[in-house]
Amino acid sequence: MGFRTAILGATGAVGQEFLRLLDERQFPLDSLTLLASKRSAGKTMTFKGETLTVQEVTHDCFDRIDLLLSSAGGSISKEFAPSAVKAGCVVVDNTSYYRMDPIVPLIIPEINSADIANHQGILANPNCSTIIMLLPLWPLQQALGIKRVVVSTYQASSGAGAQAMQELKEESLAVLNNQDYERTVIPLPYAFNLFPHNSDMLENGYCEEEMKMMEETKKIFKAPDFKVSATCIRVPILRAHSESINVEFEKATSVEDIYSILSSAPGIKVMEDRAANRWPMPIDVSGKDEVLVGRVRKDPTQENTFEMWVVGDQLLKGAALNAVQIAEAL
Amino acid sequence: MGFRTAILGATGAVGQEFLRLLDERQFPLDSLTLLASKRSAGKTMTFKGETLTVQEVTHDCFDRIDLLLSSAGGSISKEFAPSAVKAGCVVVDNTSYYRMDPIVPLIIPEINSADIANHQGILANPNCSTIIMLLPLWPLQQALGIKRVVVSTYQASSGAGAQAMQELKEESLAVLNNQDYERTVIPLPYAFNLFPHNSDMLENGYCEEEMKMMEETKKIFKAPDFKVSATCIRVPILRAHSESINVEFEKATSVEDIYSILSSAPGIKVMEDRAANRWPMPIDVSGKDEVLVGRVRKDPTQENTFEMWVVGDQLLKGAALNAVQIAEAL
């Protein structure tokens, strides 16, 4: 009655969340197979009290798998997703590799779950910063129409994987103890420091992470001219992304109307306490499913324009949770 | 031949930088008096190899002082600056208290040093985030005209003082060691966390720190309709502020023209290495005088609009250095 499910990249930061979510959400499993690259094969992980051994991914390992949750990096998805599809498996891919492929649906279930039915074997999970931004923007786009978005992100180490999270902690400890530390994952000093996202730079001066937010939004919203300008910054935070968003609407509106629209939208929660001066923070959402929105205020410098502040767990709604929701919708 | 100079708030984060800068820049001193609130009186500090004892500030302590560098908080400036002026002292005030007073010049020497001559005893040093933003915006305002700015900040703990810097380190160490930690300065969890600036909220939904950036800019640029919308966020960084700035210009321009304008402007330095993907970071400017600018790119979503990334030391150009430069210009 359930799915024979495999997790590719099971030992990674997102992979670990997949395991937790499949258990917690009582995902209908017939079997669970843990896959990873050769490096991680042989490791063991616990699921519902059972010890599972991670197996090396190979091209012929998908015969008895119905559903593959893939989160082991773009090059691994590129290599193995076609073999999985050939074996009859449906792939929910959490890497960037297939996202902009026109035949691959790019899904945030709260926004475009109807597109899931169009899949030809592969479904893509959007970039984490894109998901966190679009959850609050989608109900506003429907109700008010959005003319233009300017967004600056505050992205956590988890976006660079479990090792980056560990490295941030180790480097911070070394700095606090006045010790040297040799980084091997993050290419730039990260403890008590921040830096523009280190993905590849494009000719236009934006980096790939920024272009993902700008281009994936157009595909998910089915709005080829949708306007987003993004600045992506890595901050020394463990697992939640924050975003400062300036939105210009087509229609006139008010802070009250925006909060009313956001309050009834799925997947997000308004956190707004002006009296206590208390707003969404990364530790509020770490390990939580919901994306928090607050600090909605009218931008006095331009008509129909508002500022807002959005925070979401990068590993959950930004990655594993969204992918599991796609699988559930299947 | 020199100034009989006093530092009020000598033991604070900015006060310590004052001491270092007066020595390093060979400021013409006839004498140096260290002042602070009762709590810090009696402490000793070293200046040019001499041990100086911090004295308690009183209303009649300014008789033999020509210049007061004040950085002990708005309420202290409010109380003691008038007494200093009455005693014939010129006050360079680093607090927010007098900044928007119409008879007090608000000075960034690279921008409006001509206004220094109009002082009536008190000169104000702008907010740190304002100074760091305006150094690159001023030459662009002159050359191209600025229609509108949207800015998101990444502000360091130093803006909340020396104790906040220490608390960030101690709380981070406690988190890394899984220990409890009792915060006494910063009201919100700060280690591996971030939060919207905790200054008071105004009716319009902006906080005071944001309004400082928006209002001080108008005064410094002598442009009462200048448009800035700001989002101010505290990040777990020790002493440098970063800012993601989206600027709409009146005139058409190009990335090359902007870099050319910025390259010949005082107080800033272009740091732009697309090949190495290396951009300004807080640790690049910590302890440095210059404000770094990079990541200038054309925003494809709006005509004549560009993104840029600016980083400056909050304690130096954001505070003590700017104040000492004002004093030098006197």
pTM score: 0.96
Tokens representing residue B262 in the block? 């910025």
Name the pairing type of β-strands B67-70 and B228-231.
unpaired
pLDDT digits (tens, 9 = 90+) for B16-61: 999 999 999 999 999 999 999 998 999 999 999 999 999 999 999 9
pLDDT band at B311 (very low <50, low <70, confident <90, very high): very high
Question: Residues B61, B89, B119, B128: which is the catalytic one?
Answer: B128
Put simply, the chain B residues between 41 and 80 with a CB less than 8 A from any chain A CB are none
CB contact, 8 Å: A302 with chain B? yes
pLDDT score, position B1: 72
How many CB atoms are closer than 10 A to CB B147?
Answer: 18
Is any Cβ of chain A less than 8 angstroms from the Cβ of B101?
Answer: no
* Alpha-helix residue ranges (DSSP H) falling in chain B: 13-24, 74-86, 109-112, 128-144, 162-176, 208-221, 255-263, 282-285, 321-329
Going by the DSSP 8-state scheme, the letter that residue A282 receives in this structure is H
Say whether A233 and B244 touch across the interface (CB within 8 A). yes
Pairing outcome for strands A291-298 and A305-313: antiparallel
Domain A130-314 indexed as CATH 3.30.360.10: yes
Cα separations in angstroms, A226 against A118, A144, A148, A269, B300: 23, 14, 7, 25, 11
For residue B155 the two structure tokens come to 């502000």
Residue with tokens 């923070």: A281
Decide: helix, strand or coil at residue B176: helix
B161 contacts B243 by C-beta, under 8 angstroms: no
For chain B, which residues make up each domain, given as ranges?
3-126+320-329, 130-314
The dihedral through the CA atoms of B22, B28, B29, B35 has a sign that is negative
The answer to whether A117 touches A96, Cβ cutoff 8 Å, is no
Chain B CB contacts of A302 below 8 Å: 148, 227, 229
For A101-128, b where at least 16 C-beta lie within 10 A, e where not — what string? eeebbbbbbbbbbebbeebebbbbbbbb
Give B204's contacts in chain A (Cβ within 8 Å): 297-298, 300
Strands A195-196, A233-234: parallel, antiparallel or unpaired by DSSP? Answer: antiparallel
Domains B3-126+320-329 and B130-314 share a fold: no
What is the average pLDDT score of chain B?
96
Q: Residue A305: which pLDDT band, with cuts at 50, 70 and 90?
A: very high
Task: Select from B176, B193, B297 the Cβ nearest to the Cβ of A204.
Answer: B297
Catalytic residues of A: 128, 241
Q: Minimal Cα distance from A296: which residue of B?
A: B205
Q: Do B298 and A188 touch (CB under 8 A)?
A: no
Confidence of residue A98 (pLDDT cuts 50, 70, 90): very high
List the one residue out of B99, B88, B147 whose CA is nearest residue B124. Answer: B99
Helix axes A321-329, A13-24, angle to 10 degrees: 50
pLDDT digits over A155-191, tens only? Answer: 999 999 999 999 999 999 999 999 999 999 999 999 9
d(CA A112, CA A126): 12
Residues of chain A above pLDDT 70, percent: 100
Residue B191 is predicted with a pLDDT of 98
- CATH number, span B3-126+320-329: 3.40.50.720
Nearest CA in chain A to B191: A237
pLDDT, position A256: 97
Which tokens hold the place of B112? 């409006």
Q: In percent, how much of chain B has pLDDT > 90? A: 96
Q: Given a cut of 80, is residue A1 above it in pLDDT?
A: no
Chain B residues 246-275 with CB within 8 Å of chain A: 246, 255, 274
Q: Can you list the positions of beta strands (E) in chain A?
A: 3-8, 29-36, 44-47, 50-53, 55-56, 67-70, 90-93, 122-124, 146-154, 195-196, 228-231, 233-234, 240-249, 268-270, 291-298, 305-313
Distance CA B330, CA B274 (A): 41
Rounded to whole angstroms, the Cα distance separating A167 from B168 reads 19
Give pLDDT tens digits for A55-79: 999 999 999 999 999 999 999 999 9
Three-state secondary structure call for residue B68: strand
Tell whether B283 lies on the interface with A, counting CB pairs under 8 A.
Answer: yes
Q: Is A179 on the interface with B (CB under 8 A)?
A: no
Nearest-CA distance from B309 to chain A in Å? Answer: 9
| Whether B302 and A173 lie within 8 Å, measured CB to CB | no
Spatial strand order in the sheet of B240-249: B228-231, B146-154, B240-249, B305-313, B291-298, B268-270
